[in-house]
């Protein structure tokens, strides 16, 4: 007979991974802002900084939602993950619509920076994430 698990009381590896992703975003921020500044000028640099903030906050909010709701109910967590994703996409859309006419934003640079940052950080993090049940989250250091 199997036990029905309706909540998770163990460690929260998603929080650890989100913090690690944000730390890596801070490492790449100077290079990315400089590169976008060279390509698109001052507006490109400002757009890159905004993109880094959007992506980092998105990762942190996502992890916080999962961590908080997993301790209450797995059904609640699944609902919050689904609808939280849609709401976070909506917030990103609102931010984009809010700044689209601002003089300091280059929408092309902002869009490319969001995509490159999101995918780049996730691919970079793959190297450090453990797919083991013994060590969920980040791989232990040697």
Residue 11 has pLDDT above 90, yes or no: no
What is residue 2's predicted lDDT score, i.e. its pLDDT? 46
pTM (2 d.p.): 0.84
- Within a domain: 68: yes
Beta-sheet strands, E only, within 1-142 = 129-131, 136-138
pLDDT digits (tens, 9 = 90+) for 48-64: 999 999 999 999 999 99
- Within a domain: 136: no
Cα–Cα distance for residue pair 63/57, rounded to 1 Å: 10
- Within a domain: 31: yes
How many domains in the chain?
A: 1
- Within a domain: 78: yes
Range of the domain at 92: 14-129
More confident residue, 86 or 126: 86
Is residue 130 a contact partner of residue 136, using CB atoms and an 8 Å limit? yes
User: At 70, is the pLDDT very low, low, confident or very high (cuts 50, 70, 90)?
Assistant: confident
How many other C-beta atoms can be found within 10 angstroms of the C-beta atom of residue 107?
14
- Within a domain: 40: yes
Torsion on CA atoms 63, 67, 72, 76, rounded to nearest 10: 20
Q: Name residue 130's beta-bridge partners.
A: 137
User: At 130, is the pLDDT very low, low, confident or very high (cuts 50, 70, 90)?
Assistant: low
CB-based burial of residue 45 (10 Å sphere; 0-12 exposed, 13-18 middle, 19+ buried)? buried
């Amino acid at each position: 007979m199997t036990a029905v698990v309706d909540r998770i009381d163990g460690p929260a590896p998603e929080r650890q991974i989100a913090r690690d992703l944000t730390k890596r975003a801070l490492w790449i921020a100077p290079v990315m802002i400089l590169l976008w500044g060279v390509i698109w000028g001052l507006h490109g640099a400002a757009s890159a900084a905004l993109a880094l903030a959007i992506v980092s906050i998105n990762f942190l909010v996502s992890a916080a939602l999962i961590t908080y709701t997993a301790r209450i109910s797995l059904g609640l967590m699944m609902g919050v993950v689904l609808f939280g994703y849609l709401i976070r996409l909506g917030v990103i859309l609102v931010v984009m619509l809010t700044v689209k006419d601002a003089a300091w934003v280059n929408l092309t640079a902002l869009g490319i920076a969001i995509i490159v940052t999101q995918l780049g950080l996730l691919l970079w993090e793959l190297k450090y994430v453990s797919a083991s049940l013994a060590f969920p989250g980040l791989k232990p250091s040697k």
